Each structure stands twice: as structure tokens, then as C-alpha cells.
Structure 1
């Protein structure tokens, strides 16, 4: 009932709106004053700058306390993930505001699955106009991943990966400078670097497969190592790809590629490129490619993994790592 009231207030221009603005996010850093000025024109918006986990939590609490109807997050995937985790851990769902996300980070996979505007300034202008002119908003419900393991805090987010994808993301955050490049171009350069490494036979260290022993999904067990495995609540990934083809009705997309040491490097690179390009309709289970839609999976894992670009570590002595769908939650899209 509370959410229905909030939605009506957004639709009639009477909503109480809060904005969490991360000035250190990849794209925002270059256009901080411009973006803040555009979003500041939203009638009655309350703006809080936040740059750390502690400040994100303080901002969320302040907005929940005054019962805002819409929470706009101008930041990257990592900030969105931190705020989602805080909301799920600390607040009951009926107290949540509707969420809107401005693509202010480096990659922005979550935002770009929800909004039509890749350009930061265009996205901010369109949202500001929508809320200022009482344009009827479009609302979208999505589930969220809950990643949990015994003895470890739960993590919430929209995209999970282990193996080569996770290692590429971790490398991009710690191993090189971004030299001012953001967005999908930057992510594409990182993936190209990893493809070149595989082409030259790299299969250890930063190019090692995921250290997964067993993956349980869809009522089946899949044993052995996987080159990469990812789980997504998003429909669109980088470069507008949709590298999953499960036909089940559940809300989480699960795709993994079995490691095959006998496969030629050329064939391996070709198949991985085909996978990330979204041209996956010819993949068969016996080729080592698996894609399912599921509401839950478990894996035995001793490895690093990433959730929305943030890295974590799982140890099998803590028991299986479980990923399940929670929600759904309501997003504003434009």
C-alpha cells in the first residue's frame, strides 16, 4: 500500500525526492557541477553527497527517516550495489522508496539496463524534465541477487561473476590506470586485453578458470572447473549483449562455460567472443556451454568473485555459496 501511494505521488508531481550524489564516480567526476545543477532543478529535491560506505548508509537512513517517495542515485554500479545491500539488510521493503539510477560510474551496467540514455548529461536532463513536468513515469520491477555463505555478511546486487570475467574486473580496478576512459569502451579494452592473453596461451594467474568444484542449478549438479560463470538479474549487459538463452521462467540468468583444455586456443577465443557478442543460439550443452533461468543456485568455490564490480572472496570451508532472487523492487525508468 505504501508503494502504491508513493507511485501516485510521483505520477502527480507531489513526491518527496532524495538524491544520493557520488562526486567520485567515474563519469560524474568530470561533470560534477553540471550534473548537480541539472538534477538540482527537480522540484523539492534533497541532495546529499556521499563518497563512502559510511556516507551511503547515513544518506539512506536520513532519507528513510523522512519517508521520501523516490530515491535517485547518481553514481556507478558499486555505489548502487552498496545502497541495495544497505536497504535489504536494514529496512523492511514497505519502507523503501522507488529507485532511479543515473549512469554516473565507469561501466553502469545496472543503470543502462533500466534507462535509455547512455550519456550522463542526457540522462540527467531527461529525468529532471520528467519529474519537473509531471510526465507520467514508467515503472519497472526487477529482482535482485542475494549472495550468502555461512559466516559471511550477505551481499546484494544485480550481477555476479567468477572466473575470467571476475579476474578482468579485479584487474581493471587495481592493475592499470583508467587514463580518463569510462563506459563500455573502457570495459571493452579490458576484455580485449584478456582475450589477447588467452590467445597467447595464458591459463593461469589472472587468466585462471574459476575454482568451482560443483555448481547446483535447475535441480542438477555440474562438476569441474568453469572458465567463467555469471549470474544476472539484468536483461542487458555490456554492449547491449544478452549472453543467456535459458527458457525457464525464473528471474535470474545463469550462464557458465566449462573449461576444456583440449580445445584449441583459436576455437576457445572464437567461442568466448561469440558468447559475449550475444550470438549464442548455436551453443549446445555438450560444447560445455550452459545457460539457465533460475531462482537459486549453489556452488562450492574457493576463489574471488565480483558483484557489480566490487570484489569478494569465497572459501569452501564456509560451506556452499548460495545465490538467490529477492524482491522484486520498483525502479523508475525513462
Structure 2
């Protein structure tokens, strides 16, 4: 989760072919025909390690098992050429991020229906989609016909100096969130995953912020300039601590989160931000209540900001985390990506 920084310029980029071939293949299929299913299987995901994919359960599924992230664009292009109706992603949040990023140039704004089999260390998207931890490939295929459909738009993050290198994902964090991700890696080593890992890292972060000085990394946060779309207005600062720094930033388009936390309060739809200034120790004690939607009034005056946005630009002097992987400091534009339909039980 907290591995080496992954530079945007080195991200695998598919040649922009558009989705005309995929649309044509789908249009050729007779009405009522069996849907064509493609599977991206990540053997490196936490719950897949040491296991071989058993495709006998669904022999008609087109399986792609790229050995490395660089092979994803070609694998997705091959699935698009087959005119798939359903794309099943077998992996965790990081696998979903890579599939969305590499598929951006192939599918554009018109993706096939997606299903997620939660096999990673973190599976926040699966929690949001109410997907069972033991959801199977066959169950996902059946859900294409008989299950629910849930629409979500991932965030599209574009470095302003590299407009062709955008990535897509669902949870972006900076400041103490970056430290929390590293602490989460330690929690994983101890056997804590998903909701339990969220609880462990939140508790540890509160202790650090409560007893540390402003020089403590958990309280110091990061320098960040946040400008809200469409007019580039700066996000207000409470005045607590250094006005150039924020203790924590979290942005997401998900609506439900592990452990039942509600970092955006009552906000649910679209792109949302939760930003925390360098709050007092007394307010640090209120963080659990805020996370579960029971915080005190006048949160903004106390250094907590919860808001919805059509997009924003951010300049950071430290790395940020997108779905479990670190990306470098810089200036970025964050906005909603294409609306994608997911199947759920």
C-alpha cells in the first residue's frame, strides 16, 4: 500500500483508440443473447496470492491475467475487441484504479458494466457497492441479469504539467492520510484488513495528534493550496495553525465507507471533500464523533470542512495517496470521471 512513489509519467497508457470497435462488436450481438463477460484477474492481490484462477466455473468467460501493470492496456484492448458486456475485476482497490486508468483511453465515457470481486487488502469500492466478501465470479455474472445496478463516477486526477497522464480512482488523501496509509500497511502485517484496519489506523492517528507537538507529522500535515471549481476560489481556512498547511485532506465519490464512517457528514452524492486544519488537541478528541456524523456544531470554525464540489485544483508539497498508492507532490486537477454502471447483488 505504501510502496515507492509511482510517477505519473511512468503510468501505462493505452493508445487512444476510442470505443468504436467495442460498440460495433456489441451491436452485432442478437437481442437476448448470452452476455459476453471479460475478467481481469490480478494474481498479486492479497486474497489471490498462492491461488490459481479456476475458470472452469464459468468456461465462457474471457480471462485476462496480465502479469504486470504495463500489460493492462493490451489486455483491456483485447477484451474490448471481443465486445464484452460485463467486465469483472478480481482484485482490490488498487487493481480497480489501474483498470480504470488504463481503460480510460479505450472506453472513454462509455464503459461496459463492471463488477468487482473484493480480493485486495482494501476493498472500499466493494463496501460501497454492498458486495459480499466472498462474492464469486458466477454470482457476479448472474447479477448482470438479475442483480442491482449502481452508478458511480471515479475521480479523474490530472497533473497540470502532464495533461495526458491522468489517473482515475475513488479515494484520494493527503497529509495525515498519507501517514495513516503507512500505518495501515503495518496493520495489514498484523492481520488487520478493511474495517479493522481503518479502526486501528484511526486510533493510532488520534493518539499521535493528541500527544504530539505541531512538529509531529500527524499534526503538521502538508502545505496545500486548494482551489474550488469553477472559479478557482480558495477553500477557506479556519485560521487554526499555519494557514498554508492542512492536517488532512480526503476526497472521494464513494457514498458508503468501511467501518461505517461518514467523513463527509450528510453529503453522499458526487465529489466530496473533507479537510482538516491544524486543529486543537481538544478537537482531536472529537475526530471519532465527526467520522461517525455526530460531531459538534460549527465544524468549519473548529477547523473541519465537509463540502461537495464539481472539481478542484490542488498544489501539494508532499505525496498523496490514491487508492493505496503514493503519487508525487505537484499541482493537480481533480474532477468526476465517466459515470460507470456496477452490478451488485
**TMscore range, shorter length:** 0.7 to 0.9
2:7 aligned residue: none
Q: Which runs of 4+ in 1 moved over 6 A?
A: none
**Structure holding more strand per residue:** 1
CA RMSD between the two structures: 3.2
Q: How does 1:116-265 map to 2 (within 5 A)?
A: 116-117=131-132, 119=133, 121=134, 123-124=135-136, 128-129=138-139, 131-132=141-142, 135-152=145-162, 153-173=165-185, 178-201=189-212, 203-204=214-215, 206-217=217-228, 220-221=233-234, 222-223=236-237, 224=243, 225-245=245-265, 251-260=270-279, 263=280, 265=281
C-alpha distance in 2 between matches for 1:254 and 1:85: 21
Indicate whether 1:114 and 2:129 are aligned: yes
SS in structure 1 at match of 2:196: helix
Q: Deviations over 1:223-264 (max 9, x none)?
A: 5222111111100122122221366x961011111113xx2x
Where in structure 2 are there 5+ consecutive unaligned residues?
1-19, 238-242
C-alpha distance in 2 between matches for 1:101 and 1:134: 12
C-alpha distance in 2 between matches for 1:133 and 1:207: 43
CA-CA distance at 1:43 after TM superposition = 5.3
C-alpha distance in 1 between matches for 2:106 and 2:68: 17
Moved more, 50-59 or 66-75: 50-59
Q: Deviations over 1:180-221 (max 9, x none)?
A: 443222332233222222232154464254323432236642
1:52 aligned residue: 68
Q: Deviations over 1:13-32 (max 9, x none)?
A: 611111111122122326x3
Where in structure 1 are there 5+ consecutive unaligned residues?
none
Question: Residues 129 and 171 from structure 1, CA distance in 2 versus in 1: closer, same or farther, beyond 3 angstroms?
Answer: closer
Q: Deviations over 1:262-310 (max 9, x none)?
A: x2x2x23322222223334735321111111111012232111011111
TM-score by length of 1: 0.82
**Structure holding more helix per residue:** 1
Aligned residues: 314
Question: Residues 326 and 132 from structure 1, CA distance in 2 versus in 1: closer, same or farther, beyond 3 angstroms?
Answer: closer
Q: How does 1:3-42 map to 2 (within 5 A)?
A: 12=32, 14-29=34-49, 32-33=51-52, 36-37=53-54, 40-42=56-58
Moved more, 14-23 or 182-191: 182-191
SS in structure 2 at match of 1:80: helix
Q: How does 1:244-323 map to 2 (within 5 A)?
A: 244-245=264-265, 251-260=270-279, 263=280, 265=281, 267-280=282-295, 282-315=297-330, 320-323=331-334
